[in-house]
């Protein structure tokens, strides 16, 4: 068990933003929530072996299109779309301002009630409704699980753990951020996503559309055993006007015994993200090149220590971010970097899917392998944070073996519009 205070949580969110592979929402907004978490007791991060067989827990996630910290595109109702698995309401600047005002009027302390704002209440609600649906009685959830490794949904799991005074499991369903629920290890674990609870976030919405619903949440109990159908169902519901493209989801309820025997998560992903964040912070303090420090850490902690898994694939200036648009339920765009008359184009649909270089026929890297952003000064950025003129180092990382199956690869290929053979990054270098 590791206790996560303010410094560790900051490191964890920074590392999670890096592993988000361009997705997972805005790092800048997520870090503001870490400041608010200083008013909670330290979070307990535990490994699977520390969970008792009879304990219950569940996955919690925010669903919808991730808003940017630099523009209003993703905040407008006509442009926002519900996606498979993404931080939305929690990284919504309006929601952040609301929570800050609540905390100013009724600050949290170790002895005070945690139910001090609408956001806190909403975060608790899916968990509590799922407990009721399962008829757990006195056996309440005692741990939270992250759906993926990204700044937003790691933050969701942290906040729920803090609010409910429960523990956070050291692991997640992808080791990176992914566009859809059916691209996680949970989907291949023989654990049913049903029952699941999906709630709207009307009381935190200020749009004209949401004012018609009097700020009352819509609560939905979902039963869909088949994971692809479940992902499509969640996406369609959240895209309804009543949800305004934002929702909170609790799903994949399981016991400690199930967690150990079914092996639905990639273990150690959160501590790995926290360690990377720490490496980046210390490298800057010590005057060491943070990019080299990150690469050294990643290659020393790969699935197979004898093989290199992380590569610096390009460094250049963002010359163009082609207009973000909505297509088939995803916010998508192309990021163009240039250096010495060489151009790299990164196609993203929430997350980075594939990178092409102008003087090469084969891709530089393709999903599920990660395409991560790091500034030369060691700041991990996401597609919600980057701007034209930024200098970025692209780091490609071989995806965890748990998500290197044919089904997940095929989904990445379809999202990227790629019809060639699949090559992992070590084969492309």
Closest CA to 183 of 134, 220, 160, 150: 150
Examine the domain organization and report whether 187 and 249 are in the same domain: yes
**pLDDT tier, 112 (very low <50, low <70, confident <90, very high otherwise):** very low
User: From CA 428, how far away is CA 405, in angstroms rounded?
Assistant: 18
State the CATH number of the domain containing residue 223.
Answer: 3.40.1610.10
User: From CA 343, how far away is CA 316, in angstroms rounded?
Assistant: 9
Examine the domain organization and report whether 253 and 303 are in the same domain: no
Q: How much is the pTM?
A: 0.88
pLDDT at 198: 95
User: From CA 133, how far away is CA 419, in angstroms rounded?
Assistant: 43
Residue 337 has pLDDT above 60, yes or no: yes
Could you tell me if 84 and 23 are in contact, meaning their C-beta atoms sit under 8 angstroms apart? no
- For the chain, the average pLDDT equals 85
Summarize pLDDT for 36-67 with one digit per residue, the tens: 888 889 999 999 999 999 999 999 998 865 44
Examine the domain organization and report whether 147 and 256 are in the same domain: yes
Q: What is the mean pLDDT of residues 109-133?
A: 69
Element (H, E) at 5: none
Examine the domain organization and report whether 201 and 307 are in the same domain: no
Q: Could you tell me what percent of the chain has a pLDDT over 90?
A: 65
Enter the DSSP assignment of 14: H
Examine the domain organization and report whether 205 and 263 are in the same domain: yes
Residue scoring higher pLDDT (113 or 304): 304
Examine the domain organization and report whether 55 and 124 are in the same domain: yes
Examine the domain organization and report whether 196 and 334 are in the same domain: no
> How many domains is the chain partitioned into structurally?
2
Enter the DSSP assignment of 403: G
User: From CA 19, how far away is CA 91, in angstroms rounded?
Assistant: 17
Residue 79 has pLDDT above 70, yes or no: no
Q: Which domain holds residue 365?
A: 298-416+424-428
pLDDT at 350: 85
pLDDT at 74: 36
pLDDT at 116: 43
Last residue of a domain, one of 251, 267, 283: 267
State the CATH number of the domain containing residue 308.
Answer: 2.40.390.10
Look at the alpha carbons of 345, 307, 150, 377 in this order and tell me if their dihedral is positive or negative.
negative
pLDDT at 25: 83
Examine the domain organization and report whether 259 and 311 are in the same domain: no
């Amino acid at each position: 068990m590791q206790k996560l205070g303010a410094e560790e949580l900051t490191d964890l969110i920074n590392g999670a933003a890096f592993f988000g592979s361009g997705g997972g929402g805005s790092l800048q907004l997520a870090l503001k929530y870490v400041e608010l978490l200083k008013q909670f007791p330290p979070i307990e991060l535990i490994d699977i072996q520390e969970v008792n067989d009879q304990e219950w827990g569940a996955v919690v996630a925010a669903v919808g299109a991730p808003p940017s910290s630099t523009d209003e595109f993703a905040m407008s109702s006509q442009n926002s779309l519900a996606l498979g698995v993404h931080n939305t309401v929690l990284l919504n600047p309006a929601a952040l301002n609301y929570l800050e005002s609540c905390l100013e009027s009724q600050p949290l302390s170790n002895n005070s009630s945690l139910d001090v704002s609408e956001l806190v209440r909403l975060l608790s609600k899916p968990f509590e409704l799922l407990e009721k649906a399962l008829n757990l009685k006195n056996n309440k959830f005692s741990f939270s699980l992250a759906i993926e490794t990204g700044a937003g949904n790691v933050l969701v799991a942290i906040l729920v753990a803090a609010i409910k005074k429960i523990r956070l499991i050291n692991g997640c369903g992808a080791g990176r951020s992914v566009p859809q629920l059916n691209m996680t290890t949970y989907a291949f674990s023989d654990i049913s996503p049903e029952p699941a609870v999906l709630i709207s976030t009307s009381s935190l919405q200020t749009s004209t559309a949401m004012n018609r619903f009097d700020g009352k949440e819509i609560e939905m109990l979902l039963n869909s055993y088949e994971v692809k159908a479940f992902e499509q169902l969640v996406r369609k519901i959240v895209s309804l006007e009543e949800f305004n493209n934002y929702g909170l989801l609790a799903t994949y309820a399981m016991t400690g015994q199930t967690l150990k025997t079914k092996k639905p998560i990639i273990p150690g992903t959160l501590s790995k993200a926290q360690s990377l964040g720490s490496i980046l912070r210390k490298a800057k303090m010590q005057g060491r090149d943070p990019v080299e420090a990150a690469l050294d850490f990643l290659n020393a902690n790969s699935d197979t220590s004898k093989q290199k898994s992380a590569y610096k694939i390009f460094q250049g200036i963002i010359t163009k971010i082609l207009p973000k648009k909505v297509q088939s339920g995803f916010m998508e765009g192309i990021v163009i970097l240039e250096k010495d008359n060489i151009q790299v184009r990164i196609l993203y649909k929430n997350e980075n899917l594939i990178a092409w270089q102008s003087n090469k026929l084969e891709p530089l890297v393709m999903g599920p392998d990660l395409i991560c952003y790091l500034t030369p000064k060691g700041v991990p950025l996401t597609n919600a944070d980057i701007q034209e003129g930024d200098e970025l180092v692209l780091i490609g990382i071989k995806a965890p073996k748990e998500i290197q199956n044919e089904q997940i690869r095929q989904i990445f290929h379809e999202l990227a519009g790629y019809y060639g053979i699949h090559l992992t990054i070590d084969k492309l270098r």
